[in-house]
Amino acid sequence: MPQTTGERYRVAPVHRRGREWPFPLNLYQTAVGRKWVMALTGIGLIGFVVAHMIGNLHVYEGPARMHEYAETLRTIGGGLVPKGTVLWLLRAGLLAMFVLHLHSAISLARMSRASSEQAGLVSGAKKYPGGRDHVAATYASRTMRWTGPIIALFILYHLADLTWGWWLDDDFVPGDPYHNVAESLGNLPVAILYIVANVALAWHIFHGAWSMFQSLGVNNPRYNHLRRSLATLVAGLILVGNLSFPILTQAGLITEDERSCPVGEVIGNACLAEQAKDH
Amino acid sequence: MSGSNGTTINVTLKVWRQAGPDAPGGFEVHQQAISTDASFLEMLDQLNEQLNDDGNEPVAFESDCREGICGTCGVMINGRAHGPQKATATCQLHMREFRDGDEITIEPFRAAGFPVVRDLAVDRSPLDAIIESGGYISVNAGAASDANLTPVPKAAADTAFDAAACIGCGACVAACPNSAAQLFTSAKIGHLGLLPQGQAERWSRTEAMVETMEEFFGSCTNHGECSEACPKEISLDFIAFMNRDYLKAKVKNRSLAGQR
Ligand code: SF4
Ligand code: FES
């Protein structure tokens, strides 16, 4: 160690540490702590994506069952709380996880970018003027900071499309997701957009679901090989499930041809509810 | 390969030249005819003698032990830290890894925490800063104690030894797209954190070393490039160990704060 020189180290810190916040907030001030947050919120978000995908499989049971599923989500908690309360709480939690996941990702990317003399603007990946050779990094790990923003933008589109009904306009019927899905995904460019975004999502999860084990320090040489398998399985399931919606809609499986109820928020939905009950 | 049955190959070197930390840098091209028995650094020595004879400034690069144990050497060779051979420091790389007519790009290890001093030499003192922040360990100094007085489980001894193999070369940082120093730091933390002798200061050491690391380097995204580049094949498992210990350290150092 150069303890004989006047200044002990000639290299000035690249990142300055601020005043420490009280525990446990101080964890979020460090990169390792932020990776914990990213991993934990990642688990929650993957949980949502899986549940969302499985729930949406109801679409293959027809408009009545899909309507019933949507209603069930609003009535979680039964008569104990006003309708929609639990759903809104879940949504708030989801939003919080999403914001934390995004904020930690963006701030850590910025930290990495500042840690190299030259780095990619989005990826934050260090650049070598003579070029470099990647040996271990997967294509998925290297594109996390690209797939992430793609997913975020897609989520906004998806909400505007099937939750707020911005582009379907008069065709959008609240409470009749089967109809809305058939309308939206029946459109080829929209279906392609969903396919691209969901490939990005599975890609992101393929690395994320492995990476989180490392971030959380879940490491046991005896079981480590299972971490990659699990990540592949989760990403694969999500990919197959989510891609089925646009593809099968395009293939004509989700169609309103055999529908016996009229489409409409009042009469139509009431008819769907009746049908679901008879089932 | 046995004896000296090396042949001579001709290679084109694209070497990074930079007069000083703030000077602009660029590649300089040189031709070299070199025996395949020569080591990579001997090839650079030969180049430097030529440059010297021609009255030119030799290429600055660092080396010391030249047997893969000191961690002084280390350059990017064709886009890989320490070159193409796995588990091999630059000084242990031989020209037999290259073919006649090859073009070899040689660059310094890069990171904002490793500013270029000159040509291929970079300042890696932030790694020293990380080590120093780890502080001391408490051991009985006095009459030498008997051997094996402190029992160490075999598995812990083996793993600690694996971590202790880190030579502090900085290839992990150089290879990391994030310029993160997780592999180096976790090797140091894992080394002492696994042994009974390191337990007394385990939590304060982990906290201090991680936080010093974060003053200089980027954030790990688990690419795994570090371990591939590492001449000692330090495992990514140590990074997980460090992440776990860091969180525990934050909790423990807080609950012990009243007693400190
Ligand atoms: S972990 Fe490996 S690559 Fe990093 S400094 Fe130690 S020996 Fe070098
Ligand atoms: S010169 Fe000592 S490790 Fe290469």
Q: What CATH number does residue B18 fall under?
A: 3.10.20.30
The verdict on B153 and B242 lying in the same domain is yes
How far is A202 from A237, CA to CA, in rounded Å?
Answer: 9
Residue B256: pLDDT band by 50, 70, 90 thresholds? low
Q: What share of chain B has pLDDT > 90, as a percent?
A: 89
The verdict on B63 and B34 lying in the same domain is yes
pLDDT at A17: 85
Which of 15-44 (A) contact B at CB < 8 A?
15-17, 23-24, 26-27, 30-36
Q: Is-cis flag, bond preceding A24, omega within 30?
A: yes
CATH fold of A29-278, please?
Answer: 3 helical TM bundles of succinate and fumarate reductases (1.20.1300)
Whether B83 maps to a domain, the answer reads yes
The verdict on B113 and B131 lying in the same domain is no
Please judge whether A214 and B219 are an interchain contact, meaning their C-beta atoms are less than 8 angstroms apart.
Answer: no
CA–CA distances in Å: residue A13 to residues A3, A16, A168, B112, B127: 17, 6, 53, 9, 12
How far is A133 from A127, CA to CA, in rounded Å?
Answer: 11
Q: How many CB pairs below 8 Å do chains A and B form together?
A: 192
Domain that holds residue B242: 124-259
How far is B91 from B42, CA to CA, in rounded Å?
Answer: 9
What count of Cα atoms within 13 Å lies in the side-chain half-sphere of residue B62? 22
Burial B9-32 (b: 16+ CB within 10 A, else e): bebebbbbbbeeeeeebeeeeeeb
Q: What is the pLDDT of residues B177-201, one digit of tens each?
A: 999 999 999 999 999 999 999 999 9
The verdict on B130 and B110 lying in the same domain is no
Whether B241 maps to a domain, the answer reads yes
Q: How many residues does chain A have?
A: 279
Tell me the chain B residues in contact with residue A221 when contact means C-beta distances shorter than 8 Å.
Answer: 237
Q: What contacts B246, CB < 8 A, 6 or more positions away?
A: A30, A32, A33, B206, B207, B210
- Stated as kind and residue range, the H or E segment containing A245 is helix A224-250
How far is B236 from A213, CA to CA, in rounded Å?
Answer: 11
> In this complex, which of B210, B222, B227 lies closest to A211 when CB atoms are compared?
B222
Whether B255 maps to a domain, the answer reads yes
How far is A179 from A184, CA to CA, in rounded Å?
Answer: 9
Domain boundary among B87, B118, B149: B118
Domain boundary among B69, B93, B118: B118
Whether B3 maps to a domain, the answer reads no
Q: What is the pLDDT of residues A226-275, one digit of tens each?
A: 999 999 999 999 999 999 999 999 999 999 888 899 999 899 999 999 99
Q: Which of B114, B127, B189, B125 is nearest to B159 (CA)?
A: B189
The verdict on B217 and B114 lying in the same domain is no
Which two structure tokens, joined as six digits, stand for B109? 């290890």
Please judge whether A126 and B223 are an interchain contact, meaning their C-beta atoms are less than 8 angstroms apart.
Answer: no
Q: Which of B111, B29, B23, B109 is nearest to B61 (CA)?
A: B109
The verdict on B104 and B210 lying in the same domain is no
Whether B64 maps to a domain, the answer reads yes
Q: For chain B, what is the HEC assignment? A: CCCCCCCEEEEEEEEEEECCCCCCEEEEEEEEEEECCCEHHHHHHHHHHHHHHCCCCCCCCCCCCCCCCCCCCCCEECCEECCCCCCCCHHHCEHHHCCCCCEEEEECCCCCCCCEEECCEECCHHHHHHHHHCCCCCCCCCCCCCCCCCCCCHHHHHHHHHHHCCCCCCHHHHHCCCCCCHHHHHHHHHHHHCCHHHCCCHHHHHHHHHHHHHHHCCCCCCCCHHHHHCCCCCCCHHHHHHHHHHHHHHHHHHHCHHHC
State the complex-level ipTM: 0.93
Which of 164-183 (B) contact A at CB < 8 A?
175-180
pLDDT at A279: 65
To the nearest 5 percent, what fractions of chain A are helix, strand and coil? 65, 0, 35
Residue B3: pLDDT band by 50, 70, 90 thresholds? low
Q: Which residue has the higher pLDDT, A258 or A4?
A: A258
How far is A132 from B130, CA to CA, in rounded Å?
Answer: 27
Q: Is the CB of B39 under 6 A from ligand 2?
A: no
Quick check: B185 contacting A, CB < 8 Å? no
Q: What is the pLDDT of residues A181-235, one digit of tens each?
A: 999 999 999 999 999 999 999 999 999 999 999 999 999 989 999 999 999 999 9
Residue pair A161/A184 in contact (Cβ under 8 Å)? The answer is yes
Domain spans of chain A?
29-278
Residue A1: pLDDT band by 50, 70, 90 thresholds? very low
The angle, 0 to 180 degrees and rounded to 10, between the axes of the packed helices A188-215 and A177-185 is: 110
Q: What is the CA radius of gyration of chain A?
A: 23
The β-bridge relationship of strands B116-118 and B121-122 is: antiparallel
For B200, phi and psi rounded to 5 degrees? Answer: -55, -45
Predicted TM-score (pTM) of this structure: 0.94
Residue pair A56/A245 in contact (Cβ under 8 Å)? The answer is yes
The verdict on B151 and B245 lying in the same domain is yes
- Stated as kind and residue range, the H or E segment containing A28 is none
How far is A20 from A15, CA to CA, in rounded Å?
Answer: 14
The verdict on B195 and B227 lying in the same domain is yes
Q: What is the pLDDT of residues B76-103, one digit of tens each?
A: 999 999 999 999 999 999 999 999 999 9
Q: How many helices (H) and strands (E) does chain A have?
A: 9, 0
Q: What is the pLDDT of residues A12-62, one digit of tens each?
A: 999 998 899 998 999 999 999 999 999 999 999 999 999 999 999 999 999
Domain of B251, CATH number, reads 1.10.1060.10
Q: What contacts A269, CB < 8 A, 6 or more positions away?
A: A67, A173, A175, A176
The verdict on B88 and B207 lying in the same domain is no
Residue pair B164/B191 in contact (Cβ under 8 Å)? The answer is yes
Q: Is the CB of B120 under 6 A from ligand 2?
A: no
Quick check: A101 contacting B, CB < 8 Å? no
Residue nearest to atom 2 of ligand 1 (CA): B230
A61, amino acid identity: E
The verdict on B36 and B98 lying in the same domain is yes
Strand order in the sheet with B103-107: B25-35, B8-18, B103-107, B76-77, B80-81
The angle, 0 to 180 degrees and rounded to 10, between the axes of the packed helices B125-133 and B202-216 is: 160
Whether B184 maps to a domain, the answer reads yes
The verdict on B63 and B134 lying in the same domain is no
Domain boundary among B118, B135, B158: B118
DSSP state of A256: S
Residue pair B234/B185 in contact (Cβ under 8 Å)? The answer is no
The verdict on B45 and B18 lying in the same domain is yes
Whether B1 maps to a domain, the answer reads no
Q: Which of B19, B23, B15, B64 is nearest to B43 (CA)?
A: B15
Number of separate domains in chain B: 2
State which residue of chain B sits closest to A38, comparing Cα positions. B221
Whether B149 maps to a domain, the answer reads yes
